[in-house]
Amino acid sequence: MRPLPSGRRKTRGISLGLFALCLAAACCLQSQGVSLYIPQATINATVKEDILLSVEYSCHGVPTIEWTYSSNWGTQKIVEWKPGTQANISQSHKDRVCTFDNGSIQLFSVGVRDSGYYVITVTERLGSSQFGTIVLHVSEILYEDLHFVAVILAFLAAVAAVLISLMWVCNKCAYKFQRKRRHKLKESTTEEIELEDVEC
């Protein structure tokens, strides 16, 4: 077998190089086919509040969007859908989730058990995907603290009322005592005057 002429070897090497370059570019484009933006990675909320888990994605074609929830109580899928189609919402979150075409979801009337990690995965038709995480912390409104403050205020008001009543009683007693004393002084002075008149 005769070796190829050097000119044909060069063109074959260039075409193989171009093929490898195109393959690498395709791989790069596929891995960068989905981009995901999460404006708020941590959300603090109180019980019974409605929460928006906001995201924004961009990709070629119509992707599949999936939200999962992970916490101390376990991991479960919340919802999966393609923009423009009906969402497949899990039984645990039925009537509590609203989906948006940009990938965001809204949770209605959250509770303490909703605290945890919410992971969104955006998967393109070709197979490339991107995921992001939002941390949600739900806290209770502590009515016990308000109750404690109310009890303390009621106690202080009762003590103030008792003190005011005691001051009023003391004032009345002091007034009566002064009247008696004046009356006794008057009697003693009139007796002295009468005695002086008798002696005279």
Asked if residue 79 and residue 51 are part of one domain, the reply reads yes
The 10s digit of each residue's pLDDT in 69-80 is 998 878 899 999
Is 120 within a domain? yes
What total of structural domains would you count in the chain? 2
The 10s digit of each residue's pLDDT in 28-87 is 444 457 899 999 999 999 999 999 999 999 988 889 999 999 988 788 999 999 988 899
Asked if residue 117 and residue 62 are part of one domain, the reply reads yes
Is 199 within a domain? no
Asked if residue 126 and residue 45 are part of one domain, the reply reads yes
Distance, in Å, from the CA atom of 77 to the CA atom of 70, rounded to the nearest integer, reads 9
For residues 72 and 116, the answer to whether their CB atoms sit within 8 Å is yes
The confidence score (pLDDT) of residue 29 equals 47
Asked if residue 102 and residue 67 are part of one domain, the reply reads yes
* Parent domain of 169: 142-190
Is 24 within a domain? no
Compute the mean pLDDT over every residue in the chain, rounded to the nearest whole number.
81
Asked if residue 151 and residue 92 are part of one domain, the reply reads no
For 86, how many CA atoms within 13 A lie in the half-sphere containing its CB? 3
Angle at 178 between CA 177 and CA 180, to 5 degrees: 65
Asked if residue 159 and residue 83 are part of one domain, the reply reads no
Is 16 within a domain? no
Is 196 within a domain? no
Distance, in Å, from the CA atom of 167 to the CA atom of 170, rounded to the nearest integer, reads 5
Is 8 within a domain? no
Asked if residue 124 and residue 81 are part of one domain, the reply reads yes
Ramachandran bin of 74, using left for φ above 0, alpha for ψ from -120 to 50, beta for the remaining angles: left
The 10s digit of each residue's pLDDT in 110-169 is 999 899 999 999 998 888 889 999 999 999 877 656 777 788 888 899 999 999 988 998
Asked if residue 39 and residue 137 are part of one domain, the reply reads yes
Is 166 within a domain? yes
